[in-house]
Structure 1
């Protein structure tokens, strides 16, 4: 297994952020002044509403963040006289702000817009309410600044579970992924998987813009999964939930048989449950991957086959009748459907 080093964006440009808000999120965003926004950086995902800074308290002003002016800030500026308004807005102009976004259909008074233009600060406006705009922008920036790692493997959605197939080059990851797709499951990425850590330890996987849903099958060449199997055979991203570690069979190595001790594999400090699958001639790895996914679902719903078997064994040793059902699916048959 060969993992590339982690990477994380240190900044994006204001122009890129504005384009993504319009195109990817659908925010109606207008630019209010003629300032070059292609060279101004946004360096963090947190946002700021500069109410205290307008009032003159700038000691803890987080000026490096995108500044959002909503109804409160605009009404405060409008209730001031022209000179006091220029002075209040001047408190912001002391700093090198990335940009200013006016929400709720508000717009800066002409003198203040001119102040921003003279200081090279882009000003935008949107009809979206402040809370809605901040939620959308924060989500966009969190995604842009999230830690990422490129992982060598194949990511497949099997019964709704993201299985990351890993192993040495040539061991057959792409072939197993292709077989899973042929059986009705969905390919997310092959060979190069971009893992992104989001909040709450969630690890999302996707492919690259270049490779997308092409697969390289040794001896066959490139296969376009989307063109061959249709749109239902692919996904553009999926949460990575289980690592399937494909290994060549080693007779001197002890492999897990009861799975009482769970192995994990760390990616971006997220511990993922891992199943080591030894590769031997005749072994149906595709079916094993399906069972891994279904077993993960069972455990998610509170049924652990190893624990149930152990309890049955203990009951037999004590001379008692096992109290657990033979099929754990009976616990939550309705939920699973």
Structure 2
């Protein structure tokens, strides 16, 4: 498991930002996945100033600075640049920012400006989402990740058990491949696990006896998805006679990935068994459970009702 840092240069490329001041952008590291608007700091309150965060200057902050006298502005800006945040990003235009550019150049702090006409709050929403995803703790596992009817599913199992072949069958039924062989898992929150590829294997599916397939080239864009939230973990195993669980309601089991518990089930493979269909059923059943429905509970309720009716007779 690892948590990542990104550089200011990554931000410039991702959001097409213009650089008003700053050199060596690749050397400026961002270590926090949240941003900050230094409104209170401009008026002198520094008790909780998160100096390691990106500092966002919107129209309110810029208008406030414009109204200050030259000497007062020098003090207010100097108090903030003294802490050397990773960068400043201006979202309200660059009119009259000569003074701010000057201080950033002197202190070696990148000063960036947005090009798109979005509001400050909109830009912060996009930037926060990007930072959380890019800097999330992550790990890689051996397996396959697919999106089945909008539900992210991990397929695990020993090498050669049939994970990729099963994924290929699911693609043929209209579902989507996310990653084959190496699945990158990112922890976005204590309850949210994102599955994606490692770039090198993007769009590729390896089938024994057939070789490497590019699913987008063969089946179109609908066959592939960049990422998916992981909802279900399915362990594919070889068939063992009399080992299947035939109870109405199986006891819930979970697999822990970086502290996120993912519901786990086992599906045994056997020639002629519709494993892809079972995976579809498992995904749809998981969805119904999220809506509060349990087929086993409804069945038992019917039995109880039938017994009650017979007793009444």
Q: TM-score, normalised by structure 2?
A: 0.90
2:98 counterpart (110, 122, 127): 110
TM-fit CA distance, 1:258: 1.8
TM-fit CA distance, 1:141: 0.8
Q: Is the 8 A contact 1:74 1:108 kept in 2?
A: no
Alignment partner, residue 193 of structure 2: 203
Moved more, 137-146 or 67-76: 67-76
CA–CA separation in structure 2 for the residues paired with 1:231 and 1:72: 43
Moved more, 133-142 or 248-257: 248-257
Alignment partner, residue 42 of structure 1: 30
Q: 1:89 to 1:152 in 2, by over 3 A?
A: same
After TM superposition, the structure 1 = structure 2 runs for residues 25-64 of structure 1, keeping only pairs within 5 Å, are 29-64=17-52
1:17 counterpart (3, 11, 25): 11
CA–CA separation in structure 2 for the residues paired with 1:46 and 1:34: 21
Q: Considering only aligned residues, what root-mean-square deviation do their CA atoms show, in Å?
A: 2.2
Q: TM-score, normalised by structure 1?
A: 0.84
CA–CA separation in structure 2 for the residues paired with 1:234 and 1:196: 19
CA–CA separation in structure 2 for the residues paired with 1:95 and 1:175: 55
Q: 1:176 to 1:38 in 2, by over 3 A?
A: same
Q: Deviations over 1:55-78 (max 9, x none)?
A: 233343221111112222222222
Partner of 1:276, secondary structure, is strand
CA–CA separation in structure 1 for the residues paired with 2:196 and 2:272: 31
> Deviation above 6 Å: which 4+ runs of structure 1?
none
2:3 counterpart (4, 8, 16): 8
Alignment partner, residue 83 of structure 2: 95
Partner of 1:292, secondary structure, is helix
Q: Deviations over 1:167-222 (max 9, x none)?
A: 11111111111111122222121111112222462222111211112111122221
| Pair 1:75-2:63 in alignment | yes
Q: Deviations over 1:111-130 (max 9, x none)?
A: 33212101101111235322
TM-fit CA distance, 1:108: 5.4
CA–CA separation in structure 1 for the residues paired with 2:156 and 2:6: 32
Q: Is the 8 A contact 1:36 1:120 kept in 2?
A: no
CA–CA separation in structure 2 for the residues paired with 1:280 and 1:161: 25
Alignment partner, residue 299 of structure 1: 289
